[in-house]
Chains A and B, each alone.
Chain A
Amino acid sequence: DQQVKQNSPSLSVQEGRISILNCDYTNSMFDYFLWYKKYPAEGPTFLISISSIKDKNEDGRFTVFLNKSAKHLSLHIVPSQPGDSAVYFCAASATGNQFYFGTGTSLTVIP
């Protein structure tokens, strides 16, 4: 049972425009969320996180929004750059040991 879902397997965006990657979850106990970025042949690298006590966290061009009532989070990248082309995973955890990962969204930023 997939507790974290990324329903868009791919996304293409023009350079300079906004990229919006979406993630939905089913477990209301999740209280910590992360986004990871993965290039081919490399492990995922941490990008940005958000705790459930917040609804927004911003780090440079990257902003994560959390809507707890909808069990939805999104990652906004603005402006998008060609180097942002990668697979993006969202992950969630409750007060336990595991992180649950989505299946990833492949972002292509077109120059």
Chain B
Amino acid sequence: GAGVSQSPSNKVTEKGKDVELRCDPISGHTALYWYRQRLGQGLEFLIYFQGNSAPDKSGLPSDRFSAERTGESVSTLTIQRTQQEDSAVYLCASSFWGGRPDTQYFGPGTRLTVL
């Protein structure tokens, strides 16, 4: 497809379970970002990948959160032992990289609900 895609679109899980969220960026975009948006709040940066550089993990809220990216394509965000406060919309974005952050193109998000 032409845009950023994310799956699943919705995920309901029980507290304590692990979840995996997937992002397919736009082809050719070397930069990939994960954000989350909790209810009534803004977009919160989680992690950033750029090419083969070490990812910027400074936004990950705890060691239960991790993400991987295969080359310059698919990325997965994993949340272990989910908690109710993890409930949010998780957004992925990709962009070109011209030496600095450029306009990001967002996917539709995955709505995670932890019961």
A interface vs B, CB < 8 Å? 2, 4, 6, 32, 34, 36, 41-46, 49, 89, 91, 93, 95-104
Beta-carbon contact of B45 and A44 below 8 Å: no
B4 at the interface (CB under 8 A from A): yes
Looking at chain B, what size class is its interface with the partner chain? 20 to 34
Give chain B nearest CB distance to A36 CB in angstroms: 8
B interface vs A, CB < 8 Å? 4, 33, 35, 40-45, 48, 50, 56, 58-59, 91, 93, 100-101, 103-109
Residue of A nearest to B43 (CB): A101
Of the residues B59, B106, B108, B109, contact of A98 by C-beta under 8 Å: B59
Of the residues A2, A44, A95, contact of B91 by C-beta under 8 Å: A44
Of the residues B42, B56, B58, B108, contact of A41 by C-beta under 8 Å: B108
Beta-carbon contact of A43 and B42 below 8 Å: no
Give chain B nearest CB distance to A78 CB in angstroms: 23
